[in-house]
Amino acid sequence: MTYLLFPGRHHLLTDFQLDYLTWAISGNPADLRDANDQPLNLTSPIEAVIWAVTSANHSNTRRNPLPANRREVAIEEFGRDLDAPSYVYLIDDLGPTPHFAEYVLKKIEVDSQSRFRLTPQNTVVGCSTPSVIAMYEALGFRILPFELTDRVKETYADRRPWELIESLVQTGLAGRPWRTDRVWITQAARATRRLYDKYNYGDLIVDLHRRPLLTDDGDLTATRDYNVYVRSFDEGAPRKYARVRDFLLPGRIVDIGCCTGSLIREMTHDDRLRESDFYGIEVARPLYAECLHRKEQGAFANDNVFFYQRDFASGSIFPENSINTFTTVALTHEIESYGGRAALENFLRLLYQQTAIGGRWVNFDVLGPDDRDQPVFLRLQREDGLDDDPAREFAPDDREGLRAYLLGLSTYGRFLRFARDFRHEEGYRLPYHEETVEGEPLIALRLEDACEFLSKKDYPDNWRSEMHERFCFWSFADWRSALERVGFRVHPTSYAFVNDWIVENRYRGKADLLMKTGTDLTPMSYPPTHLVLAADKLP
């Protein structure tokens, strides 16, 4: 018996694939040639197609728009036109690894209860991607090349599925209807066209490509250590909930940027909200997956908890005037940092539209100083580590090396590194100079930049991610003005505050703020670090 293993993400099936598979299954086995244009020398016809649907745990991203169950539906319909049965197995993503081909084979064997033990002796692999071909060839498999005509020159007989998706996107972004596009009708398989039409997946894919805030895998950044991020959110959830709980209104409650649902977990234990429905919106795929896992494990004290992987900043999710309470924790600065001011202001408008009359948005986030351009001095500790080699280079994947290096720096040395890295990729060059005042070496800079350093200097685990993020772009007064422009009114008990623990344990004695009064240096109080802001939508 000979099997054809067909691995791929399979978000889109093509007429070329149907014709090629029909020929490979029903034609003369002696006519089949491999990716090196050598005879396959099959001793028997192909009797079954084994579809390995990779990235099966990913969906709603540019790279993986369709959920695995929908891809499987299209494959089953597509397979009905073949003269051999199709078997579909879902393969979770492992990230970059040279052992992925081996994992696929083992996963199929386990999921098929050992019915399919695919070996080079009983299986050929269908694939047109040279890097994937190399992985299976290294295991001894022969390759049917599908669209690939020359692996050295990388030439192809027809458009590959991802190229058809790109064509669909370009059609949609140009404002033309993708359903009637000639390329779509003549090259996408009927099973795919029926699926996309029924569930409107073409519009979804076009919309995903309009979202500049996200990476292709649906995350805000590729540099974040999510293990550290999750641990911090989980540990801080009770403390953060204590800050916002009295502002929450019962009803439909939506936590945007919900991480792993830790704040929603606190809400479901609040008796005042026992009749409410809770919605968690999380854009980052690893965090969304953990939300679903926690719900399966019974982490929430209310059955009416729902999670969605969506980019709230790009478009409406809920009907207008329908949500009683929106909450965001440590989110708005990320929208500003990765999407820019226009994205943040659009986010505020979307919130206002979807908030019910009499409803409220509660925002807990970092905060900038009132007088951001005020010239100040930083007195930095220079004896608590090294201050040499502030420009040392690290490989992108050398997270531990960078972390160890940062931990070994003095506060002064870490500032030098901060000045080099902060928003560098975005084109920002932090203005500062060193100055000796009253015999003391100091750093002269703007108050906003000083506060940015203070807020980030103690996060070596996620340094690369933190270097993209602006914390201090708006003061409390700036927030009030921005909210009033879209129609919100700031609740009078909203407030800004200084995190006293951070001041005493991370700032004081390591990075002191000073200002010059005449010719004298005067110690400054640290500006507020956070705000709890409740914005009401009044009748």
Write the pLDDT tens digit of every residue in 257-276. Answer: 999 999 999 999 999 998 89
C-beta atoms surrounding 261 within 10 Å? 29
Look at the chain and report how many structural domains it folds into.
Answer: 3
Give yes or no: residues 421 and 400 share one domain.
Answer: yes
- Inform me whether the pLDDT recorded for 305 exceeds 60: yes
Q: Is residue 14 part of a domain?
A: yes
Q: Is 437 left (phi over 0), alpha (psi -120 to 50) or beta?
A: beta
* 490's tokens: 């700031």
Residues 23 and 146 in one domain: yes
Residue 483 has pLDDT above 90, yes or no: yes
Residue 212 has pLDDT above 80, yes or no: no
**In percent, how much of the chain has pLDDT > 90?**
79
Q: Which domain holds residue 437?
A: 375-467+505-523
Distance (Å, whole) CA 339 – CA 347: 10
Q: What is the DSSP string of 489-520?
A: EE-TT-EEE--HHHIIIIITTTEEEEEEETTE
pTM over 0.85: no
Residue ending a domain, among 366, 393, 423, is 366
pLDDT at site 30? 87
Which residue in this structure is represented by tokens 């001011």?
A: 341
Reduce the secondary structure of 84-120 to three states and give it as a string: CCEEEEECCCCCCCCCHHHHHHHHHHHHCCCCCCCCC
In a domain, 410, yes or no: yes
Encode pLDDT of 388-430 as tens digits: 888 899 998 899 999 999 999 999 999 999 999 999 999 999 9
Q: Identify the pLDDT of residue 311.
A: 82
In a domain, 354, yes or no: yes
Say if 199 falls within a structural domain. no
The contacts of residue 485 (CB under 8 Å, 6+ apart) are: none
Q: Which residues contact 177 (CB under 8 A, 6 or more apart)?
A: 171
Q: 3-state DSSP call for residue 482?
A: helix
Place of tokens 């965090």: 287
Confidence band for 226, pLDDT divided at 50, 70 and 90: low
Domain boundary residue among 335, 366, 397?
A: 366
- Mean pLDDT calculated for residue range 279-286: 88
At residue 95, the pLDDT reads 76
In the chain, the percentage of residues whose pLDDT exceeds 70 is 96
Tell me if 29 is assigned to some domain.
yes
Residue 495 burial by Cβ neighbours in a 10 Å radius (0-12, 13-18, 19+): middle
Are residue 358 and residue 402 in the same domain, yes or no? no
- pLDDT band, residue 211 (cuts 50/70/90): low
Predicted local distance difference test score (pLDDT) of residue 57:
85
Give me the CATH number covering residue 299: 3.40.50.150
The single residue listed with the structure tokens 């933190």 is 466
Q: Which of 128-137, 222-231, 363-372, 422-431 has the lowest mean pLDDT?
A: 222-231
Mean pLDDT value of segment 354-383: 96
Does residue 428 share a domain with residue 387? yes
CATH number reported for the structural domain that contains residue 107 in this entry: 3.40.50.620
The predicted-structure confidence for 9-27, as pLDDT tens digits, reads as follows 999 999 999 999 999 999 9
Mean pLDDT of 497-521: 91
Three-state SS for 47-68 is: EEEEEEECCCCCCCCCCCCCCH
**Strand 155-156 versus strand 142-144 pairing type:** unpaired
Distance CA 360, CA 251 (A): 11
Q: Is residue 258 part of a domain?
A: yes
Residue 385 sits in the same domain as residue 458: yes
**Pairing state of beta strands 323-329 and 148-150?**
unpaired
Query: Comparing C-alpha atoms, which of 333, 286, 299, 290 is closest to residue 313?
Result: 333
If asked whether residues 404 and 451 sit together in one domain, one would say yes
Looking at the DSSP bridge assignments, the partners of residue 306 are 279
pLDDT at 43 over 90: no
Q: How many CB atoms lie within 10 A of CB 225?
A: 15
Q: Tell me what pLDDT residue 236 has.
A: 85
Structural contact between residues 126 and 146, judged by C-beta atoms closer than 8 angstroms:
yes
Angle made by CA atoms 363, 331, 353, in degrees to the nearest 5 = 60
Same domain, 130 and 6: yes
Domain boundary (157, 181, 197) is at 157
pLDDT at 508 over 90: yes
For the chain, give the number of residues: 539
Is residue 66 situated within a structural domain? Answer: yes
Whether 202 is in a domain gets the answer: no
pLDDT at position 225 is 53
**Judgement on whether residues 451 and 334 belong to the same structural domain of the protein:** no
347 and 308 in one domain? yes
Grade residue 221 by pLDDT with cuts at 50, 70 and 90.
low
Could you read off the pLDDT of 129-148 as tens digits, one per residue?
Answer: 999 999 999 999 999 999 99
pLDDT of residue 348: 97
**Mean predicted lDDT score pLDDT of the chain:** 92
- Spatial separation of the C-alpha atoms in residues 30 and 21, rounded to whole Å: 15
Q: How far is 166 from 205, CA to CA, in rounded Å? A: 9
List pLDDT tens digits, range 62-118. 888 999 999 999 999 999 999 999 999 999 988 778 899 999 999 999 999 999 999
Q: Are residues 358 and 434 in the same domain?
A: no
Both 6 and 151 in a single domain? Answer: yes
CB atoms near residue 210 (< 10 Å): 12
Give the separation between CA 103 and CA 83, rounded to whole angstroms. Answer: 28
Residue 365: per-residue pLDDT = 97
Q: Read off the DSSP letter of residue 416.
A: H
**137, 7: one domain:** yes
CB neighbourhood size of 4 (10 A): 22
Say how many CA atoms lie within 13 Å of 483 toward its Cβ.
24
Q: Which helix (H) or strand (E) covers residue 163, if one does?
A: helix 161-173
pLDDT of amino acid 122:
96
Mean pLDDT of 204-215: 70
| Predicted pLDDT at 464 | 93
Q: What is the pLDDT of residue 315?
A: 80
